[in-house]
């Protein structure tokens, strides 16, 4: 019997009514002949509430106890989902992470999955259970303590189970009906993409698209897990629904650009007049990494008289960390620069498409489109299937709309 993994996010299990709707979708797949592993998130808002309680109790908290508290939201949802399925006449039971067991590293709050032995689940299915409802986001560390995988970790849990069980596919049910060419709230002609490659989805996820957690896409790509994103708020669960994330095929290259992503919470930091010498990049970005600053775009200006400017982007809420790290280096005499200039009013806009590999001039066309709209580009980075630019935040939506129109993404399917 084939196996299927179905994951339901917080909005899809927000209350008992939504859990009942989700359970009916599970029942349809059972009726289609699948053994189903259901991965559930905590009810919408519950994790934030639990995190708030932890921080109110102990501002400098024990991270292991944090995991013990915040993982409880998924346990509640799993039990309620299993009971709902039982009321529908489907033999189901709930599983917490330690019961499976989902084995992780010991990095509390940000553990990584190491192994999912399937013996217990296999025995459960062999005994007649049709559905295993697993609490997402959580596992068990080497010391036997509960761990959590970081926010959005239920997506990663679902893909990991699909890989471990050699599932037919992994369906991610959420509050949107698929992956769009860009945010429909900005561009009303944005179109749902029927099929997208792992690489494109990974770029879109890392560049600001919030539909799938980046780690889950990385895992799906590594283990070639067919991944589908679809809405829990619509009745259609047939294979024509949602967006499939799959291995790249020839038809994908015919679409030069597949999507436009953006991230508005960006900042630009420039170290003015630093020494242009071997090791200067390591001297700057090593301490930034140690300070937990997530550096993205990096540009080094042409050297003049042995001095150069080093510019990078990072999330706007990490600017203070970056400033503290750089100023500490200057105070200690480890790094000399004339000025530390920051700009918190920028945004990143990116074009993604596997067809860019085989089509020359796409970056130039992008730059011309933005120039025609009077949008000044502050920083540029590229890869084989992506071009990203940093622009003034006030022009972000204009840039997204202009690029979507210029590359006729309303025709992408």
Tell whether 181 is in a known binding site: no
Least Cα distance to 191 among 257, 265, 263 occurs for 257
Cα–Cα dist 106/24, whole Å: 36
Residue 185 annotated as binding site: yes
**Is 210 known as a binding-site position?**
yes
For residue 93, the cross-strand partners are: 132
Question: Was 211 annotated as part of a binding site?
Answer: yes
Is 386 labelled as part of a ligand binding site? no
Omega into 381 within 30° of 0, i.e. cis? Answer: no
Q: Is residue 356 within a helix (H) or strand (E), and if so which, with residue range?
A: none
Query: What count of Cα atoms within 13 Å lies in the side-chain half-sphere of residue 205?
Result: 20
Closest CA to 237 of 9, 56, 30: 30
47 is in an annotated binding site: yes
- d(CA 187, CA 181) in angstroms, rounded, equals 9
Are 104 and 113 a contacting pair, CB within 8 Å?
A: yes
Cβ 408 vs Cβ 361: under 8 Å: no
Longest dimension (CA), the chain: 78
The C-alpha atoms of residue 34 and residue 84 are separated, in whole angstroms, by 18
74 labeled binding residue? yes
Q: How far is the C-alpha of 106 from the C-alpha of 101, rounded, in Å?
A: 14
Q: Residue 8, annotated ligand binder?
A: yes
Q: Which amino acids are annotated as binding site for substrate, given as ranges?
A: 47, 74
Q: Which amino acids are annotated as binding site, given as ranges?
A: 7-10, 47, 74, 174-175, 180, 185, 210-211
Q: Which amino acids are annotated as binding site for ATP, given as ranges?
A: 7-10, 174-175, 180, 185, 210-211
């Amino acid at each position: 019997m084939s196996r299927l993994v179905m994951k339901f996010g917080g909005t899809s299990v927000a209350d008992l009514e939504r859990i009942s709707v989700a359970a009916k979708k599970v029942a349809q797949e059972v009726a289609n002949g699948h053994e189903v592993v259901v991965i559930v998130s905590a009810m919408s808002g519950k994790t934030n509430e639990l995190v708030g309680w932890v921080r109110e109790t102990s501002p400098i908290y024990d991270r292991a106890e944090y995991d013990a508290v915040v993982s409880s939201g998924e346990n509640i949802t799993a039990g309620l989902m299993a009971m709902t399925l039982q009321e529908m006449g489907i033999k189901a039971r709930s599983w917490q992470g330690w019961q499976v067991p989902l084995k992780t590293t010991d990095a509390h709050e940000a553990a990584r999955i190491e192994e999912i032995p399937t013996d217990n689940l296999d025995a459960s299915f062999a005994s007649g259970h049709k559905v295993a409802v697993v609490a997402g986001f959580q596992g068990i560390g080497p010391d036997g303590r509960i761990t959590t995988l970081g926010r959005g970790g239920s997506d990663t849990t679902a893909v990991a189970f699909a890989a471990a069980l050699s599932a037919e596919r992994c369906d991610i049910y959420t509050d949107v009906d698929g992956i769009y060419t860009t945010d429909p709230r900005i561009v009303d002609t944005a179109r749902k993409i029927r099929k997208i490659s792992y690489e494109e989805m990974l770029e879109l996820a890392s560049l600001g698209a919030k539909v799938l957690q980046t780690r889950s896409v990385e895992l799906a790509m590594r283990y070639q897990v067919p991944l589908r994103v679809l809405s829990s708020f619509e009745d259609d669960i047939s294979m024509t629904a949602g967006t499939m994330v799959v291995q790249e095929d020839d038809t994908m290259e015919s679409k030069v650009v597949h999507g436009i992503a953006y991230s508005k919470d960006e900042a630009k930091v420039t170290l003015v007049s630093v020494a242009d010498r071997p090791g200067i990049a390591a001297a700057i970005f090593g301490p930034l990494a140690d300070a937990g600053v997530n550096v993205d775009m990096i540009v080094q200006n042409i050297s003049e008289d042995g001095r150069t400017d080093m510019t990078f982007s990072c999330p706007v809420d990490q600017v203070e960390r970056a400033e503290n790290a750089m100023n500490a280096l200057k105070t200690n005499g480890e790094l000399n620069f004339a000025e530390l200039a920051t700009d918190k009013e920028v945004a990143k806009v990116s074009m993604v498409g596997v067809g860019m590999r085989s089509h020359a001039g796409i970056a130039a066309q992008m730059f011309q489109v933005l120039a025609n709209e009077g949008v000044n580009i502050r920083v540029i980075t590229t890869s084989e299937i992506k071009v990203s630019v940093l622009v003034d935040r006030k022009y972000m939506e204009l840039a997204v709309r202009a690029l979507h129109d210029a590359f006729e993404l309303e025709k992408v399917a």
